[in-house]
């Protein structure tokens, strides 16, 4: 029996002409467009980080995450709150399991993301005003030329308890799983040249897509304006289990293609096939559609030639030379 999910339609998004929105994620040095980028430190092993034991030295905090017996908490209580954790290492193909209880609240977005320096990305995202589903997405090199990559998956009452959301990523496929059940599979042939394939860091956090400072389209997508008086709104991450399928001390880019074959593992090897094969799920040939379109993890992806502002799943881009 094929699990069902909903694919998003293509549609046009207006350009943002002047306003820059506060970033949660961006590339400080894009190896495909900038020189002298440092190699990415490799995890090169398997780790399980249990945040119920407190802060982990594997992650860099931003915006004051807190810790208790439920793990790491990411609380949005007022405009500008955007707590997150970012791993200090990268994986080059791998298996990641997030134990997550997303935040409630209209306008609040919870995210669990794999992202590379050249803006490849694999996502899980939850909207606080929708307790019935979770959204998966992917991006290659930060491109948003089409709007049909996101998918919605049934995930009823997801704010009531922790569930395990998995991403298994190899050169042959990406498999998204909920509590061990595959809900989506992506192969390179189905990715229209945008298959994620470069070293990824891990990011988790929450933010307010419904903040009144955001563009109207963002607020509409997030379900409406965030009512801070009804908060605070807290996302919880109990643990993150990670297996890096490749080995070595660091990963670096050679050339400017951004293909996995161009990635070099210092003192190790790139294992493109991964570990034990993960069961795939067939993509439905047809499905109902939705009027929202998942886009990259909230924030601004910056390069030396342009900025792309990703706020929730609506993207606003502007070509800006020499601004960063």
Yes or no: say if 91 and 265 are a contact pair by the CB < 8 Å rule.
no
- List the catalytic residue out of 55, 97, 121, 266: 121
With a CB cutoff of 8 Å and minimum separation 6, the contacts of 278 are: 95, 168, 173, 175, 177, 182
Place of tokens 């929105």: 21
Q: Taking the CB of residue 253, how many other CB atoms lie within 10 A of it? A: 22
Place of tokens 């993301």: 113
Report the alpha-carbon distance of residue 314 to residue 186 in Å, rounded: 22
Report the alpha-carbon distance of residue 300 to residue 133 in Å, rounded: 25
Active site residue 125: yes
Bridge partners (DSSP) listed for residue 96: 167, 242
Yes or no: say if 242 and 46 are a contact pair by the CB < 8 Å rule.
yes
Active site residue 220: no
Yes or no: say if 101 and 162 are a contact pair by the CB < 8 Å rule.
yes
Bridge partners (DSSP) listed for residue 6: 152
Report the alpha-carbon distance of residue 128 to residue 206 in Å, rounded: 10
- List the catalytic residue out of 97, 125, 220, 266: 125
Yes or no: say if 289 and 9 are a contact pair by the CB < 8 Å rule.
yes
Tokens coding 156? 């009823």
Nearest Cα residue to 213 out of 21, 15, 14: 21
Yes or no: say if 124 and 167 are a contact pair by the CB < 8 Å rule.
yes
Catalytic residues: 121, 125
């Amino acid at each position: 029996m094929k699990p069902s999910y909903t694919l998003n339609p293509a549609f046009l998004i207006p350009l943002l002409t002047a306003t820059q929105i506060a970033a949660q994620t961006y590339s400080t040095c894009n190896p495909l467009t900038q020189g002298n980028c440092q190699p990415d430190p490799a995890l090169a092993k398997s780790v399980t980080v249990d945040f119920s034991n407190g802060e982990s030295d594997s992650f860099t905090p931003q915006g004051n995450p807190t810790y208790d017996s439920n793990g790491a908490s990411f609380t949005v209580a007022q405009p500008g709150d955007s707590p997150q954790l970012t791993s200090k290492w990268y994986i080059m193909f791998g298996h990641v399991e997030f134990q997550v209880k997303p935040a409630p609240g209209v306008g609040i977005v919870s995210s669990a993301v794999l992202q590379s320096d050249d803006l490849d990305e694999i996502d899980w995202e939850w909207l606080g005003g929708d307790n019935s589903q979770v959204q998966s997405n992917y991006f290659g090199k930060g491109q948003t030329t089409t709007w049909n990559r996101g998918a919605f998956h049934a995930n009823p009452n997801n704010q009531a308890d922790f569930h395990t959301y998995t991403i298994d990523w190899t050169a042959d496929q990406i498999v998204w799983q909920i509590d061990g059940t595959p809900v989506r599979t992506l192969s390179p042939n189905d990715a229209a040249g945008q298959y994620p394939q470069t070293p990824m860091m891990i990011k988790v956090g929450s933010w307010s897509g419904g903040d009144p400072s955001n563009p109207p389209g963002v607020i509409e997508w997030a379900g409406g304006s965030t009512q801070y008086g009804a908060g605070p709104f807290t996302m919880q991450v109990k643990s993150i289990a990670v297996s890096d399928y490749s080995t070595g001390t660091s990963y670096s880019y050679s050339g400017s293609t951004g293909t996995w074959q161009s990635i070099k593992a210092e003192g190790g090897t790139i294992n493109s096939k991964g570990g034990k094969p993960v069961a795939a799920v067939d993509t439905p040939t047809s499905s109902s559609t939705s009027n929202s379109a998942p886009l990259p993890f909230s924030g601004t992806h910056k390069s030396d030639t342009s900025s792309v502002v990703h706020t929730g799943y609506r993207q606003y881009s502007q070509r800006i030379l020499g601004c960063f």
